[in-house]
């Protein structure tokens, strides 16, 4: 799909409906929604007293932490790769 096309994907996360718009495929956005839903349920199982809003914030914290970790690993690999190509 061309990057200029926008998709509108209806998803359900933790019982709430959302329309996610973006340039990704609907299949990708459904996968993302499923992972967020799973993560929220996982965090709730450890902290059963959290309300939905705090649960979602902690899910976002978790994902951003993972994002930074991957970003660091990516930078490390890119450096290694450019050394090997020299």
Q: Which residues bind its own copies (CB under 8 A)?
A: 13-14, 16, 18, 20, 22, 24, 28-29, 31-33, 35-36, 39-40, 51-54, 56-61, 63-68, 70-71, 73-74, 77-78, 80-81, 84-85
Place of tokens 């890119």: 78
Cβ 4 to its own copies, closest distance in Å? 18
> Which residue's CB is nearer to its own copies, number 1 or number 78?
78
Cβ 61 to its own copies, closest distance in Å? 5
> Which residue's CB is nearer to its own copies, number 44 or number 59?
59
Residue 79 has, within 13 A of its CA and on its CB side, a CA count of 6
Q: What are the distances in angstroms from CA 7 to CA 4, 18, 25, 63?
A: 10, 13, 7, 23
How many other CB atoms sit within 10 Å of the CB of residue 41?
Answer: 12
């Amino acid at each position: 799909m061309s990057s200029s096309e926008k998709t509108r994907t209806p998803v359900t996360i933790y019982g709430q409906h959302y329309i996610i718009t973006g340039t990704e495929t609907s299949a990708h956005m459904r996968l993302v929604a499923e992972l967020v839903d799973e993560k929220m349920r996982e965090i709730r199982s450890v902290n059963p007293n959290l309300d939905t809003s705090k649960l979602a914030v902690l899910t976002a914290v978790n994902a951003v932490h993972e994002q930074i970790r991957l970003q660091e690993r990516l930078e490390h690999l890119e450096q290694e790769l450019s050394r090997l190509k020299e």
